Amino acid sequence: MNALPQLWLPILVAAVLVYIASSLIHMVFKWHNSDYKKLANEDEVQAVLRKGAPAVGQYGIPHCTDMKAMRDEAMMKKYVDGPVAFLTVMKSGAPRMGGMLIRWFLFNLVVALIAGAIALQVYGLPGNAHYAGHLVGLVTFLTYAGGSVQYGIWMGKPWSSVLKDLLDALIYGVVSALAFWWLWPA
């Protein structure tokens, strides 16, 4: 793996291109704005949650951690009566976008690093830049796409939202593939 440092430029460029693509998707095209719906009684729901003072974390409503409990009539009634929901509670206050954007960029770097390391293991240096870029694009696509599909299957995320996430992942995969194809060491 001592050849990995030679991939610093395509790794960095891929991470920057994914960051730029993501920024365009969320700030210019805004196709994810419709992914989140407003509750008709948002203020009331927020007041009830505030009163319960939930800690930061993930919650399931109704809460059931045991398959035996799923057979209980009272638990089944909760599911049937609904609503069934998954909720993420974050720290109160305005979102700190700076920190979130830094973590997002660092994640992009890690994805590019791992995708580059996989391509390096498969093709070596000097390797075929076209094939290496193609493999990086596929790994990148799978990395960004996988979580959303799982949320569609297990958490009830709307499939229209999942499809938009898959489009995002495809774009991230393409720009990463192009960066590695262009900058793969000869």
pLDDT mean by block of 10 residues, the chain; 186 residues? 88 99 98 96 96 95 90 93 95 95 99 98 92 98 96 96 98 99 94
Give residues with Cβ within 8 angstroms of 115, minimum separation 6: 14, 135, 136, 139, 140, 143, 176, 180
* pTM > 0.85: yes or no: yes
Pairing of strands 57-61, 85-89: antiparallel
Name the CA dihedral angle for 91, 93, 94, 100, rounded to a multiple of 10 degrees.
Answer: -30
pLDDT value for 2: 80
Q: Is-contact 137 21, C-beta < 8 A?
A: no
Structure tokens that stand for 8 in this block: 């610093």
Spatial distance between the Cα atoms of 186 and 96, rounded to a whole number of angstroms? 42
Q: Is-contact 140 180, C-beta < 8 A?
A: no
Domain boundaries, given as residue ranges, for the chain: 4-38+94-183
pLDDT value for 183: 97
